[in-house]
Amino acid sequence: MKALILAAGYATRLYPLTKEYPKPLLQVGTKPIINYIIDKLAVLTDVKEIIVVTNSKFISLFENWAQDLNVPARIKLVNDMTQTHSDRLGAIGDINFVIEQLAIMDDLLVIGGDNLFDGGLSDFLSFAKGKVPDPVIGAYDIMDKEQAKKYGVIKVDEKNRIIDFQEKPKTPISTLIAMCLYYFPREKLGLIKQYLQTRTDKHDATGFYIDWLRQIEDVYVFQFHGLWYDIGHHEFYNKAKESFK
C-alpha cells in the first residue's frame, strides 16, 4: 500500500499566511500540520511509501522539510508542475497525476495535507480492508448544519454505505461531512482517470468525484470521533493552534 498526501493547493483563503508558504507546513503546536499526518502514517506497517504531491512554487520548501524527517516509511516528493492557483490541477487531478507519473498499482490511502484530527488511522484501515474492493472515505459529524454547508455532506444507509453526497449544499441532508481521507483499492484506481475524462470541469473538490463514484460503485464511510480541524480558514487554524498550544 502507498499513502498520498495532497499538498499542491495554494490555500488562497488563508492569505497572507500562505501567499509564499504552503498550508501543510504551517505550524500547529510544536510542528507543521503535515508532521501530524506523517506520524499517523509512519506507524502503519502496511504503508510502504509516503508520497507528498506539491507544486513548483513550493517544492523547494518541501525538500527542506523532508530533510529533517526521520520515519520508517520512505518519503517521496512529487511536483505537479503547476505554479499558480489558476493553473492548479485540483485534488482529483493531482491524485491522477501521481498515479500516472509513478505508475501506481497498489492500494492507495489518500489524505489532505491539512487534515488534523484525533487518534490514528489503524481502525480506519482495518475497516477499509474489510470492504475491499470497494472504496472507503473518512467522515466526521460536525453537529451543525450551518457549518456543514462548507463541506461535502454525506448520507449513509444502515451498512454505512453512501446513498447521497452533496458538495457544499445550501440545505445539508445531514451533519456528516467528508474529511479528505480516502482508501482507494488498486482495482478501482482506473476510475479516477475515467471520471476526469467525463467531468472536465470538476477536478478540484474531491467530493464531486465521490458523488460520481458512489453512483456506479458501493462507497463506504468510516466515522471518526474526537477533534477534527479544517485548516481551510483562519478561524479554524487559530482554534487548532490554541488546542495544540
Q: Write down the pLDDT at residue 237.
A: 81
Whether 147 is in a domain gets the answer no
Q: Write down the pLDDT at residue 238.
A: 84
Whether 113 is in a domain gets the answer yes
Number of domains in the chain: 1
**Contacts for 35 with CB less than 8 Å, ≥ 6 apart:** 69
What is the rounded CA–CA span in Å between residue 199 and residue 202?
A: 6
Is the CB of residue 42 less than 8 Å from the CB of residue 73?
yes
CATH number for the domain spanning 30: value is 3.90.550.10
Whether 117 is in a domain gets the answer yes
Is the CB of residue 195 less than 8 Å from the CB of residue 209?
yes
Alpha helical stretches, state H, 130-217: 145-148, 190-198, 206-214
What is the rounded CA–CA span in Å between residue 13 and residue 233?
A: 6
Whether 168 is in a domain gets the answer no
**Which amino acid is it at 226?**
G
pLDDT tens digits for the chain (245 residues)?
999 999 999 877 778 888 889 999 999 988 999 999 999 999 999 999 999 999 999 999 999 999 888 775 689 999 999 998 888 888 999 999 999 999 999 999 999 999 888 889 999 999 999 999 999 999 999 999 998 998 899 999 999 999 999 999 999 999 999 999 999 999 999 999 999 988 766 666 788 999 999 999 999 999 999 888 878 778 788 888 887 77
Q: Which domain holds residue 121?
A: 2-137+180-243
Whether 170 is in a domain gets the answer no
Whether 119 is in a domain gets the answer yes
Q: Is the pTM of this model over 0.75?
A: yes
| Tens digit of each residue's pLDDT (9 = 90 or more) over 27-37 | 998 899 999 99
Q: Write down the pLDDT at residue 73.
A: 63
- Helix (H) and strand (E) counts for the chain? 8, 13
